């Protein structure tokens, strides 16, 4: 078993969801007013990756002291990844009233969208923090 309780995993993910939601609000209401949309998206992605790194560093600290199996890390990574996509879709559809097409456009990395990179970074966190020692 992972050295993380379901509550710790859930609270870590919830902290990330809140932080990333605030990051998105700041991007849309502040950054895009003072810089180009492309620059705002880049800075927001960088800030988001830093937030994810910091929150998971604190939340997943017990991983460093143990040696979780690769299978466990993959499952944790998939859980974070899927929970984040589901959250984004629910908020996008029912709060922001976006269409499925608009939501899917955020995944078009071939058009310069950075969200897939941020998701990949999130998925790497269990592996990164399980390898940290001391």
Give the pLDDT of the chain (134 residues) as one tens digit per residue.
Answer: 678 899 999 999 999 999 999 999 999 999 999 999 999 999 999 999 999 999 999 999 888 888 888 899 999 999 999 999 999 999 999 999 999 999 999 999 999 999 999 999 999 999 999 876 54
Closest by alpha carbon to 122, among 91, 90, 77, 62? 77
Closest by alpha carbon to 83, among 14, 129, 25? 14
Sign of the CA dihedral running 40, 46, 47, 48: positive
The pLDDT, as a whole number, for residue 128 is 93
Please tell me the pTM assigned to this model. 0.91
pLDDT in tens, 48-78: 999 999 999 999 988 888 888 889 999 999 9
């Amino acid at each position: 078993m992972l050295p993380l309780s379901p509550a710790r995993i859930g609270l870590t993910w919830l902290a990330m969801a809140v932080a990333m939601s605030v990051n998105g609000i700041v991007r849309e209401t502040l950054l895009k007013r003072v810089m180009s949309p492309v620059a705002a998206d880049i800075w927001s992605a960088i800030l988001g990756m830093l937030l994810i790194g910091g929150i998971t560093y604190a939340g997943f600290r017990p991983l460093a002291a143990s040696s979780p199996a690769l299978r466990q890390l993959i499952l944790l990574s998939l859980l974070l990844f899927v929970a984040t996509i589901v959250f984004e879709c629910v908020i996008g559809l029912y709060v922001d009233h976006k269409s499925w097409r608009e939501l899917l456009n955020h995944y078009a990395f071939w058009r310069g969208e950075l969200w897939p990179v941020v998701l990949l970074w999130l998925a790497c966190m269990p592996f990164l923090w399980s390898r940290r020692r001391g």
